[in-house]
Structure formats: structure tokens, C-alpha cells
């Protein structure tokens, strides 16, 4: 009796060809979006990296290759390190306040009351107000001589402050204005996180005898961990790139006390026309944000609970 050995079946190539056919069919729809990314994201990034190795000045038609000269100048510049330190203080201050203050109005907006819609609109309105309008309003409110804030302090028997014109208070004033304008977005994100939490968990804690404060501290806030990570990252990245408020409120002053890195880049590019050096600063900021994002993701993987 002979035994017939059967050969293993060859893997079918149809799924792969079917996937390739589907990809080919989707290509006409993907190419426009890919083209937009290439034109408005990847090409500008590659162009900035190239210009960081040149002496581009927005005046000469052809920049000269200078290698790492711009980066060596940046690392030896006291203004760069000072600007980086001021930016770190500004970013950490704004991020901490937006994360801390953004959660409180989210709880209020999540409560079902008659004023719920009005409260949501009031919290989010500063986000959509233009930076120019924000600067005009706050320059008036914080005017040392005739501003309503100083008038109120003087009427209460307290001395008025220099606010944006005093090197000791200018950075703190800009931080508070940035928080006023930006805290609405974290509040809305926290509201979305609250509405995604299963009500059964809070109801079970209440049945076990937990108070509202205990439920918020032991159940709600821990489950907002993923939302907190998103809010923290968005706020941190946004503040590191800030320059509009500083440009319109203080122009980096007084005495360089609000010279953020974003404004320092803007100043070198469009005031001093040192586009090569400004590009090197932009690349340094880009690398810094990549490192911060990587570290934040690593921390989140260990300490944040995802459902």
C-alpha cells in the first residue's frame, strides 16, 4: 500500500492583490490630501532645515552654505538661553493654570442647570476672540495710569502695579492673559472627558457611601487621566510657540522680561532679516517639542489609566 504525500497548499495571493486593487482605487482620493501635506507641511519643514545651514537674510537671492555656524551662534548666545528660560517659565505657568483651572468650569458645565448653555458660551468665548482684540482690551484694563484694574486697587487703598510695563510683573501679567484666553479649550476637553465616564461607576461609589468630593477625587479625576494628558500636551506645545500676545502686548519687553522664544524667532526673521539664524532657532524649537512629546508619552504610558 503506497502512501501519497500531499504538498502544503500554496498561500493564496488573492488577498494581497485585492488589497493592492483597493489601494489603487483609493489613490485618487488620497493624493489631494497627501499633496496638501507635502506642500504645506513637509516642504516648509525641509526648507527651514536647509535654510538653518545657510546665511539667508531675505535680501540676497541665493543664500550661502555656512554649515553649523547658525547653531554654534545660537548655543553661544546669551539672548537665546535667556529667551529659552523665559519661555520655560511661561509654558509651565500657563500649562499648570490651564490644566488646573480648566477642570473646574468643566464640572460646572457638566451640571444640568438652566444656565448650562450660557456658562458654556461664556467659558469658550475668549478662545474665539482674536489676539489683536485681546491685546487691545487688556492693554486698556492694565494701563498703569488710567486702567480700571489699578483704579479699583487704589479705591480699595492698595497701590497700583505696573503690570505690563514693569519687568517684575510683565511676565506674570502675560501668563494670566494667556490663561484667560486659552482656558476655555481645556474646559471643553475636560467636559468631553467627563461625559465619557460611565455613570455606573459614580453611582456605585455613591451607594458605597462616598461623598461627592470623594467621588470626584477617587473616581472622576483619575478617569480623566487620558484627557489631562491631551490637555497638558496641547497647552505645552501651544505656549512654546506663542508670540502673538507678546508681540502686541509688550514686544518682548520691558527689558526683555517677556522675550519668548517664539517672539525671538519672529524678531530675528522679520525684524533683523536673519532668516538662516531664525531657521536654526525654529529647528531647535522643533526638536525640543519632539523630546517633550516623547517624554510625556512615556510618562503617560506608566501612570495614566485608559479604559
Q: Got the DSSP string for 178-232?
A: HHHHHTHHHHHHHHHHHHHS-HHHHHHHHHTT--HHHHIIIIIHHHTHHHHHHHH
Q: How far apart are CA 203 and CA 135, in angstroms?
A: 45
Amino acid 8: pLDDT = 55
Three-state secondary-structure class, residue 48: helix
Amino acid 111: pLDDT = 79
Rg (CA), the chain: 27
Q: Is the pLDDT of residue 229 over 70?
A: yes
Q: What is the mean pLDDT of residues 245-256?
A: 91
The pLDDT > 90 percentage for the chain reads: 46
Cβ 67 vs Cβ 54: under 8 Å: no
Amino acid 5: pLDDT = 54
Cβ 56 vs Cβ 279: under 8 Å: yes
Domains of the chain (ranges plus CATH)?
77-303 (1.10.3720.10)
In 3D space, the residue among 229, 263, 236 whose CA is nearest the CA of residue 79 turns out to be 263
Amino acid 11: pLDDT = 52
Express each pLDDT in 167-180 by its tens digit. Answer: 999 999 999 999 99
Q: How far apart are CA 170 and CA 152, in angstroms?
A: 19
Assign 304 a pLDDT band (cuts: 50, 70, 90): low
Average pLDDT of the chain? 86
Q: How far apart are CA 97 and CA 89, in angstroms?
A: 12
Express each pLDDT in 3-54 by its tens digit. Answer: 555 555 555 545 555 667 776 777 787 888 888 888 888 898 999 999 999 9
Amino acid 17: pLDDT = 58
- Counting Cβ atoms within 10 Å, is residue 240 exposed (0-12), middle (13-18) or buried (19+)? buried
Amino acid 221: pLDDT = 82
Q: How far is CA 152 from CA 82, 136, 147, 251, in A?
A: 34, 19, 9, 27
- Burial 149-175, CB ≥16 within 10 A → b, else e: bbeeeeeeeeebbebbbeeebbbbbbb
Cβ 74 vs Cβ 81: under 8 Å: no
Q: Is the pTM of this model over 0.75?
A: yes
Whether the bond between 237 and the residue before it is cis, its omega within 30 degrees of 0, is no
Three-state secondary-structure class, residue 136: helix
Cβ 233 vs Cβ 91: under 8 Å: no
Amino acid 73: pLDDT = 95
Amino acid 261: pLDDT = 93
Contacts of 250 (CB under 8 A, 6+ apart): 164, 170, 174, 257, 258
Express each pLDDT in 80-136 by its tens digit. Answer: 999 999 999 999 999 999 998 888 888 888 877 777 778 888 888 999 999 999 999
Cβ 182 vs Cβ 98: under 8 Å: yes
Q: How far apart are CA 284 and CA 296, in angstroms?
A: 18
Amino acid 55: pLDDT = 92
**114 or 305: which carries more pLDDT confidence?**
114
SS3 content of the chain, % helix, strand, coil (to 5): 70, 0, 25
Q: How far apart are CA 175 and CA 169, in angstroms?
A: 10
**32 or 282: which carries more pLDDT confidence?**
282
> From the CB of residue 79, how many other CB atoms can be counted at a distance below 10 Å?
13
Amino acid 249: pLDDT = 93
**9 or 226: which carries more pLDDT confidence?**
226
In 3D space, the residue among 196, 179, 219, 197 whose CA is nearest the CA of residue 99 turns out to be 179
Cβ 276 vs Cβ 70: under 8 Å: yes
Kind and range of the H or E element at 256?
Answer: none
Dihedral pair phi/psi, residue 210, rounded to 5°: -75, 140
Amino acid at each position: 500500500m503506497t502512501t501519497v504525500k500531499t504538498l502544503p497548499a500554496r498561500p493564496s495571493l488573492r488577498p494581497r492583490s485585492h488589497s493592492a486593487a483597493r489601494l489603487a482605487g483609493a489613490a485618487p482620493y488620497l493624493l489631494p490630501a497627501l499633496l496638501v501635506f507635502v506642500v504645506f507641511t513637509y516642504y516648509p519643514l525641509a526648507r527651514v532645515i536647509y535654510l538653518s545651514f545657510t546665511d539667508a537674510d531675505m535680501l540676497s537671492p541665493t543664500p550661502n552654505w555656512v554649515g553649523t555656524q547658525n547653531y554654534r551662534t545660537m548655543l553661544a548666545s546669551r539672548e537665546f538661553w535667556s529667551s529659552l528660560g523665559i519661555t520655560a517659565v511661561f509654558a509651565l505657568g500657563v500649562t499648570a493654570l490651564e490644566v488646573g483651572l480648566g477642570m473646574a468650569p468643566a464640572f460646572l458645565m457638566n451640571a444640568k442647570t438652566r444656565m448650562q448653555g450660557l456658562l458654556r458660551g461664556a467659558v469658550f468665548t475668549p478662545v474665539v476672540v482674536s489676539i489683536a482684540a485681546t491685546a487691545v482690551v487688556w492693554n486698556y484694563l492694565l494701563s498703569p495710569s488710567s486702567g480700571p484694574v489699578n483704579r479699583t486697587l487704589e479705591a480699595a487703598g492698595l497701590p497700583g502695579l505696573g503690570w505690563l510695563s514693569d519687568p517684575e510683573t510683565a511676565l506674570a501679567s502675560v501668563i494670566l492673559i494667556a490663561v484667560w484666553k486659552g482656558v476655555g479649550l481645556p474646559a471643553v476637553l475636560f467636559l468631553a472627558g467627563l461625559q465619557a465616564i460611565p455613570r455606573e461607576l459614580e453611582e456605585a461609589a455613591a451607594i458605597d457611601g462616598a461623598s461627592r468630593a470623594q467621588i470626584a477625587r477617587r473616581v472622576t479625576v483619575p478617569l480623566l487621566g487620558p484627557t489631562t494628558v491631551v490637555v497638558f500636551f496641547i497647552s505645552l506645545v501651544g505656549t512654546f510657540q506663542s508670540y502673538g500676545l507678546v508681540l502686541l502686548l509688550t514686544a518682548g519687553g520691558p527689558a526683555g522680561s517677556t522675550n519668548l522664544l517664539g517672539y525671538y524667532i519672529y524678531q530675528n526673521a522679520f525684524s533683523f532679516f536673519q532668516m538662516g539664524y531664525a531657521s536654526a532657532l525654529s529647528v531647535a524649537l522643533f526638536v525640543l517639542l519632539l523630546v517633550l512629546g516623547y517624554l510625556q508619552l512615556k510618562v503617560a504610558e506608566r501612570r495614566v489609566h485608559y479604559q
